[in-house]
Amino acid sequence: MKPAPFAYADPTTVEEALDVLTAEGEGAKVLAGGQSLLPLLSMRLAAPTTLVDINRLPGLDRIEAGPNGVRVGALVRHAALLASAEAAAVQPLLGRATANVAHPAIRNRGTTVGSIAHADPSGEMTSVLALTDGSVTVATPGGRSTIGWRDLFVGPLETSVHGPAVVLDAFFPALPARSGTAFAEVARRKGDYAVCGAGVVVTVDDDLRVTAARAAYLSVGLVPEVHDLSGAVAGKPVDSADWAAAGALASGLVDPDGDLHASADYRRLLVATLTERTLADAGAEAVARALEAS
Amino acid sequence: MTTKLFGEPVRRREDARLITGQGRYLDDIGADAYAAAFVRSPYAHARVVDIDVTGALDVEGLLAIYTYEDLTGPLAEPLPVLIPHPQLTHPRTGYPLAKDVVQHVGEAVVMVVATDRYVAEDAAALIAVSYEELPVVVGVDAARAATHAVHDDVPDNVAARHHQETGDVEPALAASTHTISFTQYVERSASMPMEGKGVHARWDADDQALRVYTSTQASTSVRAAIAAKLQLSLEKVEVIAPDVGGGFGVKIVHPWPEELLVPMAARLLGHEVKWTEDRREHFISSAHERQQRQEITVGYDEDGRITALDVHIWHDNGAYTPYGIIIPIVTATQLVGPYAIPVYRVRVDSVFTNTVIVTPYRGAGRPQGCFAMERTMDRIAQERGLDRAEVRMRNLIQGDQFPYDQHLTFQDGRPVIYDSGDYPGLMAKLKALVDWDSFAERRAEATARGRMLGIGMAMYVEGTGPGPYEGGHVQVLGSGKVLVSTGLTSQGQGHETVFAQLVASELGVPMEDVEVTTGDTRRFGYAVGTFASRAAVMSGNAVALAARGVREKALRIAAEVLEASPEDLEIDEGLVQVKGVPGASIPLRTVAVLSNPLRYAFDEAAKQATQFAGPGDDSKPPVAVGDAPGLEHTDYYSPIRSTFASGAHAAVVEIDPSTWEIDVVQYAVVHDCGNVVNPMIVEGQVHGGVAQGVGGALYERMAYDSDGQLQNASFMDFLMPYASEVPPVVIDHQETASPLNPLGIKGAGEAGVIPGSAAIASAIEDAVGRRIATMPISPTELYDLVRSSADPVTNSQTGAMA
Amino acid sequence: MTVDLERTISITVNGVPREATVPVRRLLSDALRHDLGLTGTHVGCEHGVCGSCTVLLEGSPVRSCLVLAVQADGQSVTTVEGLSRSDHQGGQVLHPIQESFRECHALQCGFCTPGFLTTIAAGLDARDPSVEITEEEVEELVGGNLCRCTGYANIKKACRHAAETMRAEAGR
């Protein structure tokens, strides 16, 4: 299990990176944390002709947390995002989801943006980008553009970013007022890719009644999907909301596949269970935040 | 008096190098060696039509490509059937490189040698092999149906029909008050040591000799196999097992194709060659174990006492049978466990499938046998409305029945006669350890939390330490250093420590002076290998006997010098002294010097042994008739038959009915391996075994699709437990010495894994009230089970019958 | 901007500047083992799951099979061979976790051991030694590496033992 031959460049500016990607053409691939890419290389399931290592690009290792959201640079490691109190304060889902990414040694090297660019439907951060209605900034020779998550994720391990391009950052909008979040997953072993995972956001009104409940799931579809579950719980006081009904609603909305570790039916069960559990937690948090703000 | 070492938790001597990165594993050897890589079959069953290597020829750094056509002499013949047996009527083995047909995904077809492994893989990727696909047989049921044949000339796919019986089972069943019949399955797992296999070979053109390092459990036999296959005289081949990163059975098989091909290439190329197996190769070309279909009929009386047991097992042996029918025999004979079964018949049909070969993985057929017997006990308890512990108690062999003859023939060809044990004692300790009788309260507490709690137990008897023999050599040097060697190999069991403890105890020397070498044919040429929980029993007794021989000689020589009778001498801290006469002593190292009469004084110590050093007895030759120079002794231990260890495990599982996740919240072990040399090491063996038992019960499974593709050939999808998946283990010990060997010990290596699936299946069944008839089981399968029409099961309230 | 097939890299390994010329596809694990001769780092799966090859890159545990050697150019790497520390007399003493592994029988075959040692050592060094270690911390420290021999009980025990040793040292 050794990678097939490839050429390597480690540009120090985005322009340089784009030049190399352009020059090397179709076979060139961007390398950031490498925690998903290197196993594919070693198993010879991927054989790029050139790796363009962006680890030396300056300024991409920053987490910028502002009132509108959190911008995570392409070289921010999972571990750094997990440790960022500023990021957690603006969008608590980031830390909660990142804590579920593999094991510490992987989190020390793997990048949040890289896992989004990898577009693995079982990855935590793809779902979080979707649930928060986030976007990525992409640099191409033609300039920089922002791509919303709906346009980004095209299929399993496939994004709409083609040709010479570097994803520079991901932007996760802030958690709205009077809202709470939760994230949970079921994995066969702790640290494994989730058999099923759920991230949710619940928003309440001033009377602490649910106004919205949305959920995104891991490992249940080909691309991250966000489901609006408000119908099952909207208008109900948080403490008497029928979260189980929302779970049941969710399990009917998803269309998971079966694999070695879980049947489609089992995944549907987990969607229901995890939805119910996370919504209850998120609802409680929404109430707490609403009370705090008032 | 020298500190008593036997029975002490002495810290391991191996560790000093292993915790500092100074171990020497296979891939650490031969920095300048060429690297081998293999082109392996992508098909489970296919005819090799053509091999086109032209694409690879331009790869810079390519040194050689070998196919079957390049094999000559015995190398071109099929690999050996290591353990022939009259009931193995259709043994089949592959070739070192596929000849015409490949029988499983991963079978080696072409070997490439290049300057490094990267380049070797590049070249391998450019070799085009064309295949004609053949029908594929996967799983025991497909093999049994025999719609297709794995080997053309074995149309029913049956390699062997193993059969043993202790009486006439059919009338006994007919006469039984009650009978039940059922079928159950165990799935495939694998040893999966953290270090894969590997071979390094160096050809010495001047000596016309070969030195081979291999990550093996059987270096002496690898040596013999290489000599035979490469047509070298035995003394021209040295085989050394360096530090080995785990074995668990898979490295007992030999010669692996690579163990022949790498030396062949080293000789042909006149350069060191090394092959380091990668993880994917290990999954698809090393061995697996465990899959069986078990058809069981049991007869029993009103009280739940077994009157007759009839078992028909279909055992998946994979594509070939290099290791014979050892696993079927072990399952067949160990199945009866600690119970007195009046009439027992077992038939094991060992069948071919187009999958990786099946050879022993820790437990080697015992976990399956235990699963059959223990699940039978649970069924009887349920049918009779009895506590599961009570049914077991009623069927246990009692203390006054030893030696107990099961009237079966074990894997060593010897009778299954249990040497000693205390099975009711195990049960009593286990019940106390898990508080079996008050489980109802715990269950109620869990129910209140919305969780399903269940408890299960399983007992086993394990034949350990089978022969034919092991040997030991002990030599005291003039420096005082004591060299110990034995031929069997080590894969983490702490032999360097345990054998040093034994020799230091027997010889009366400080342990620091003792140096142990294992698995090096340069040091000890006769050995069998490390498997079947035999190392401590076999080599332990052998090195102890060798040490006793040295002691006897040392006392004889010292007695002359000290002008005392040998009986009046003792050895303590390396000093031979007259008992009760302080000062009347001679260091053992001096005895060693004197034991070798010299002409030449090459150092100060040697001077004492030269011919003018002191007054001699001119009436005797310097070396007495029948004696030999040197303070050393070689001895062998060859047991009359195996010794039988035993144990009982219990598991408590907690299940979340909203996710069907299964959490083993408590795991209890009562363990009896006779006298214990080093309790720290024995406990470590138990811990490791239990983790593999839990893995086999809940996580690990080789998932083949119907095309024979292994779908989870990586650590991402083959789920070996991390620390987070292994429950806390509580252990209680019982020591029933074996009367069969001088040290009274029994083997401990495999015990921990044996009852895992049986106990955990019992616990899950107890928790969810549905019959568990297949292991392992995952949450998704449990979810399917509870929604199915599977038998509802009710266990009698634990403790109700007490 | 150069695109290379081979590069000469400089890595400070266990405090010693080392240089090697490697193909750019060389994994850091292979470079350490085969180009620099530090065979204490073991390769168990080469797909980042087992953790045997874990080394410290700029002080943080990473899987060396998931890093290219060229990516470590100009950085510092600590392997199991470099875990020992200088004592007051300038001699080398083992890291407390190394001593604890021996004391608690936390290894059997020893193949996975270097990955556990580097990971746990970094974790213990990064925490306040005066605070008693929690079970959650222990689980986190040992939870990402596979061991097939020990069943982990004694590895956890060694973790607690080492933390205790460091606490005693800190209190002195």
Three-class secondary structure assignment of B187-245: CCECCCCCCCCEEEEEEECCCCEEEEEECCCCHHHHHHHHHHHCCCCHHHEEEECCECC
Are residues C108 and C157 located together in one domain of the fold?
yes
Place of tokens 């890159």: C57
pLDDT lower than 50: segments of chain A: none
- Rounded to an integer, the average pLDDT of B572-596 is 94
pLDDT digits (tens, 9 = 90+) for A33-53: 999 999 999 999 999 999 999
How far is it, in rounded angstroms, from Cα B108 to Cα B257? 8
Number of domains within chain C: 2
Q: DSSP character for B15?
A: H
Determine the residue type at C25.
Answer: R
Reported for B408-411, long-range contacts at CB under 8 A and 24+ positions apart, including other chains, are: B408/B164, B408/B166, B408/B332, B408/B333, B408/B336, B408/B344, B409/B164, B409/B329, B409/B333, B410/B329, B410/B333, B410/B463, B410/B466, B410/B641, B410/B642, B411/B326, B411/B329, B411/B330, B411/B333, B411/B463, B411/B466, B411/B532
Q: List the CATH number of the domain containing B223.
A: 3.90.1170.50
> Domain residues for B555?
467-637
Residue A148 belongs to what H/E stretch? strand A143-148
| Residue pair B298/B220 in contact by the 8 Å Cβ criterion | no
Are residues B506 and B562 located together in one domain of the fold?
yes
Partner residue opposite B118 with nearest CB, options A2, A191, A195: A2
Are residues C93 and C167 located together in one domain of the fold?
yes
Residue C50 lies in a domain: yes
Residues of C in contact with A8 (CB under 8 A): 3-5, 7, 24-25, 68, 70
Residues of C in contact with A32 (CB under 8 A): none
Place of tokens 């810079």: B60
The alpha-helical segments, DSSP class H, found in C48-152 are 96-103, 113-126, 135-142
∠ CA B60-B63-B69, nearest 5°, is 130
Residues of B in contact with A269 (CB under 8 A): 658-660, 783
Q: Does C66 touch chain A (CB under 8 A)?
A: yes
∠ CA C161-C164-C170, nearest 5°, is 145
Nearest residue on chain C to A55, judged by CA atoms? Answer: C71
The pLDDT value given to residue B801: 43
Instruction: Give C80→chain B minimum CA distance, Å.
Output: 6
Partner residue opposite B721 with nearest CB, options A189, A270, A273: A189
For C95, the 3-state DSSP assignment is: coil
pLDDT digits (tens, 9 = 90+) for B353-388: 999 999 999 999 999 999 999 999 999 999 999 999
Partner residue opposite A35 with nearest CB, options C46, C48, C119: C48
How far is it, in rounded angstroms, from Cα A273 to Cα A278? 9
Nearest residue on chain C to B281, judged by CA atoms? Answer: C45
| Boundary residue ending a domain (B637, B669, B695) | B637
> By mean pLDDT, which of B170-174, B209-213, B534-538, B710-714 is the weakest?
B534-538
Residue B576 belongs to what H/E stretch? strand B575-578
Q: List the CATH number of the domain containing B650.
A: 3.30.365.10
- Rounded to an integer, the average pLDDT of B291-318 is 98
Residue A29 belongs to what H/E stretch? strand A28-31
Are residues C123 and C107 located together in one domain of the fold?
yes
Are residues B474 and B564 located together in one domain of the fold?
yes
Residues of A in contact with B279 (CB under 8 A): 1
Residue C1 lies in a domain: no
pLDDT for residue C2 is more than 50: yes
Residue B237 lies in a domain: yes
Phi, psi of C69 (to 5 degrees): -55, -40
Q: Based on the number of CB atoms within 10 Å of its own CB, is B583 exposed (0-12), middle (13-18) or buried (19 or more)?
A: exposed
Residues of A in contact with C143 (CB under 8 A): 103, 190-191
Is the Cβ pair A38, C68 closer than 8 Å? yes
For A239, the 3-state DSSP assignment is: helix
pLDDT for residue B799 is more than 60: no
Residues of C in contact with A38 (CB under 8 A): 27, 48, 65-68
Q: Which residue has the higher pLDDT, B619 or B135?
A: B135
Are residues B487 and B506 located together in one domain of the fold?
yes
Burial B175-191 (b: 16+ CB within 10 A, else e): ebeeeeeeebbbbbbbb
CATH number of A179-293, picked from 3.30.390.50, 3.40.190.10, 3.30.2040.10, 3.40.50.150: 3.30.390.50
Partner residue opposite B724 with nearest CB, options A190, A195, A270: A190
Residue count of chain B: 802
How far is it, in rounded angstroms, from Cα C159 to Cα C169? 15
Provide ipTM, 2 decimals.
Answer: 0.97
Are residues B588 and B495 located together in one domain of the fold?
yes
Phi, psi of C136 (to 5 degrees): -65, -40
| Boundary residue ending a domain (C55, C82, C109) | C82
Query: What does the block give as tokens for B530?
Result: 């490390």
The alpha-helical segments, DSSP class H, found in B230-360 are 257-269, 279-285, 326-334
The pLDDT value given to residue B798: 58
Are residues C108 and C155 located together in one domain of the fold?
yes
pLDDT band at B478 (very low <50, low <70, confident <90, very high): very high
Mutate which of B14, B17, B19 to disrupt the C interface (most C C-beta within 10 Å)? B19
Are residues C30 and C62 located together in one domain of the fold?
yes
Q: Does C143 touch chain A (CB under 8 A)?
A: yes
Mention every residue, 6+ apart, whose C-beta is less than 8 A from residue A88.
A94, A95
How far is it, in rounded angstroms, from Cα B362 to Cα B287? 12
The pLDDT value given to residue C88: 77
Is the Cβ pair B11, C103 closer than 8 Å? yes
pLDDT for residue C68 is more than 60: yes
Q: DSSP character for B772?
A: -
| Boundary residue ending a domain (C82, C102, C135) | C82
Are residues B526 and B631 located together in one domain of the fold?
yes
Are residues C68 and C125 located together in one domain of the fold?
no
Instruction: Give A119→chain B minimum CA distance, Å.
Output: 18
Is the Cβ pair C148, B243 closer than 8 Å? no
pLDDT digits (tens, 9 = 90+) for B7-39: 999 999 999 999 999 999 999 999 999 999 999
Distances in whole angstroms, Cα of residue C166 to Cα of each of A194, B151, C123: 36, 62, 12
Residue B650 lies in a domain: yes
Nearest residue on chain B to C100, judged by CA atoms? Answer: B19
Instruction: Give B207→chain A minimum CA distance, Å.
Output: 35
Nearest residue on chain B to A1, judged by CA atoms? Answer: B278
Is the Cβ pair A189, B783 closer than 8 Å? no
pLDDT for residue B218 is more than 80: yes
> Which subunits have 3 or more CB–CB pairs within 8 Å of chain B?
A, C
For B38, the 3-state DSSP assignment is: strand
How far is it, in rounded angstroms, from Cα B221 to Cα B203? 19
Nearest residue on chain A to C47, judged by CA atoms? Answer: A39
Distances in whole angstroms, Cα of residue B56 to Cα of each of B99, B340, B342, C25: 21, 63, 65, 19
The pLDDT value given to residue B800: 46
pLDDT band at B647 (very low <50, low <70, confident <90, very high): very high
Are residues B453 and B357 located together in one domain of the fold?
yes
Is the Cβ pair B121, A2 closer than 8 Å? yes
The pLDDT value given to residue B1: 39
Mention every residue, 6+ apart, whose C-beta is less than 8 A from residue B739.
B419, B420
Instruction: Give A243→chain B minimum CA distance, Å.
Output: 14
Number of domains within chain B: 3
Is the Cβ pair C142, B723 closer than 8 Å? yes
∠ CA C115-C41-B262, nearest 5°, is 125
- Rounded to an integer, the average pLDDT of B78-96 is 97
- Rounded to an integer, the average pLDDT of B221-235 is 97
Residues of A in contact with B125 (CB under 8 A): 4, 44
Query: What does the block give as tokens for B14?
Result: 């191996």
Are residues B382 and B438 located together in one domain of the fold?
yes
How far is it, in rounded angstroms, from Cα A72 to Cα A128? 13
- Rounded to an integer, the average pLDDT of B511-540 is 94
Partner residue opposite C45 with nearest CB, options B31, B690, B715: B715
> Which subunits have 3 or more CB–CB pairs within 8 Å of chain A?
B, C
Are residues C75 and C100 located together in one domain of the fold?
no
Determine the residue type at B69.
Answer: E
| Residue pair B376/B296 in contact by the 8 Å Cβ criterion | yes
Going through B588-642 in order, the beta strands assigned E by DSSP cover 631-637
Are residues B429 and B495 located together in one domain of the fold?
no
Are residues C15 and C56 located together in one domain of the fold?
yes
- Rounded to an integer, the average pLDDT of B397-414 is 96
Residue C48 lies in a domain: yes
Phi, psi of C126 (to 5 degrees): -85, -10
Residue C32 lies in a domain: yes
- Kindly report the average pLDDT of chain B as a whole number: 96
Are residues B304 and B409 located together in one domain of the fold?
yes
Q: List the CATH number of the domain containing C107.
A: 1.10.150.120
- Rounded to an integer, the average pLDDT of B634-644 is 96
Are residues B400 and B335 located together in one domain of the fold?
yes
Q: Which residue has the higher pLDDT, B626 or B324?
A: B324
Instruction: Give A192→chain B minimum CA distance, Å.
Output: 7
Reported for A153-158, long-range contacts at CB under 8 A and 24+ positions apart, including other chains, are: A153/A119, A153/A121, A153/A126, A153/A223, A153/A224, A154/A119, A154/A223, A155/A119, A155/A222, A155/A223, A156/A119, A156/A120, A156/A121, A156/A222, A156/A223, A157/A118, A157/A119, A157/A120, A158/A119
Instruction: Give A66→chain B minimum CA distance, Å.
Output: 37
Nearest to B138 by CA among B704, B702, B701, B700: B704
Determine the residue type at B30.
Answer: G
Instruction: Give A125→chain B minimum CA distance, Å.
Output: 19
Nearest residue on chain A to C62, judged by CA atoms? Answer: A105
Are residues C94 and C167 located together in one domain of the fold?
yes
Residue A72 belongs to what H/E stretch? strand A69-73
Instruction: Give C172→chain B minimum CA distance, Å.
Output: 26
Mention every residue, 6+ apart, whose C-beta is less than 8 A from residue B525.
B220, B487
Cα B231 to chain centroid distance, Å, stands at 30
Nearest to B159 by CA among B247, B101, B231, B93: B93
Q: Supply the Cα-derived Rg of chain A in whole angstroms.
A: 19
Nearest to A213 by CA among A223, A225, A227: A227
Q: Does C80 touch chain A (CB under 8 A)?
A: no
pLDDT for residue B802 is more than 80: no
pLDDT for residue B484 is more than 50: yes
Query: What does the block give as tokens for B196?
Result: 């894969």
| Residue pair A128/A94 in contact by the 8 Å Cβ criterion | yes
Residue B157 lies in a domain: no
Residue C117 lies in a domain: yes
Partner residue opposite C25 with nearest CB, options A3, A11, A23: A3
| Boundary residue ending a domain (C28, C55, C82) | C82
- Residue B655 has a CB neighbour count (10 Å cut-off) of 22
Helix axes B779-787, B756-768, angle to 10 degrees: 40
pLDDT band at B4 (very low <50, low <70, confident <90, very high): confident
Mention every residue, 6+ apart, whose C-beta is less than 8 A from residue A44.
A1, A3, A4, B121, B125
Are residues B366 and B394 located together in one domain of the fold?
yes
pLDDT digits (tens, 9 = 90+) for A129-171: 999 999 999 999 999 999 999 999 999 999 999 999 999 999 9
> Domain residues for C99?
85-171
Is the Cβ pair A191, B780 closer than 8 Å? no
Q: Where are the domains of chain A?
A: 7-53, 63-173, 179-293
Instruction: Give B205→chain A minimum CA distance, Å.
Output: 32
Nearest to C149 by CA among C119, C103, C116, C100: C116
| Residue pair B446/B452 in contact by the 8 Å Cβ criterion | yes
Q: Supply the Cα-derived Rg of chain B in whole angstroms.
A: 28
Nearest residue on chain C to B19, judged by CA atoms? Answer: C98
CATH level 3 topology of A63-173: 3.30.465
pLDDT band at B501 (very low <50, low <70, confident <90, very high): very high
Q: Does C97 touch chain A (CB under 8 A)?
A: no
- Residue B58 has a CB neighbour count (10 Å cut-off) of 9
- Residue B623 has a CB neighbour count (10 Å cut-off) of 13
Are residues B103 and B123 located together in one domain of the fold?
yes
How far is it, in rounded angstroms, from Cα B765 to Cα B159? 34
Are residues C70 and C102 located together in one domain of the fold?
no
Q: Does C126 touch chain A (CB under 8 A)?
A: no
Architecture of domain A7-53: 2-Layer Sandwich (3.30)
* Side-chain-facing half-sphere of A120: CA atoms under 13 Å: 16
The pLDDT value given to residue C80: 98
Nearest residue on chain B to A43, judged by CA atoms? Answer: B280
- Rounded to an integer, the average pLDDT of C96-116 is 98
- Rounded to an integer, the average pLDDT of B396-424 is 96
